[in-house]
Structure 1
């Protein structure tokens, strides 16, 4: 499948770095916060890790669909600066909201 590099659904080669970076961030967040939340809700370590693994697999599938299957080809050229900045801004806001939301239930 990835013998000559990852390809999108049209068969064009794509850059795998955004997918790998997002997958690494998902792994870090899910396995950092998942067991803590599992313990706070009364789950055992095994169930907390199982729930974290399921969440990681689901979010990994979403990242694969977004960054690999529907990615533009490498030959498409760079995006204009306007949409790139807008995407970066929305991603930073979403990341901040997720981090804030993850800390709220543990404080209360």
Structure 2
């Protein structure tokens, strides 16, 4: 059964599955560890919190890549937009790495 957007058109499930897979890997590999280190919660609470974050990321990915997808608007993205998105992605990744290294810094 193919995924369909709100208009009933079939959409490509690969982008949705890739984003959900990366969200699963990131949230469950770092979430419980950092919740326990930063907030001092027990393991069950840390896993429950990570599950809540993963479910929110999955719902956001479904909304973005399936529900509101419009296959009729497919076309080539201008180079300037792709370049800008590349730099924004690199900046967000750098900020994420800094955020993930906070428990290892001594203030």
- Distance, in Å, in 2 between the alignment partners of 1:74 and 1:88 is 24
1:91–1:10: structure 2 CA closer, same or farther, 3 Å change rule?
Answer: farther
Q: Counterpart of 2:34? A: 37
Q: Counterpart of 2:88? A: 90
Correspondence 1:8-47 to 2 at 5 A: 8-40=5-37, 41-47=39-45
- Distance, in Å, in 1 between the alignment partners of 2:11 and 2:22 is 20
1:16-56 Cα deviation digits (max 9, x unpaired): 21111111111111111111122212211111111110111
TM-score (norm 2): 0.80
Correspondence 1:39-78 to 2 at 5 A: 39-40=36-37, 41-73=39-71, 76-78=74-76
The number of equivalent residue pairs is: 105
TM-score (norm 1): 0.79
Deviation for aligned residue 1:79: 3.2
Q: What CA RMSD, in Å, does the superposition of the two structures yield over aligned residues?
A: 2.0
Query: Structure 2: 5+ residue runs without aligned partners?
Result: none
- Distance, in Å, in 2 between the alignment partners of 1:79 and 1:51 is 37
Query: Structure 1: 5+ residue runs without aligned partners?
Result: none
Deviation for aligned residue 1:70: 1.9
1:56–1:68: structure 2 CA closer, same or farther, 3 Å change rule?
Answer: same
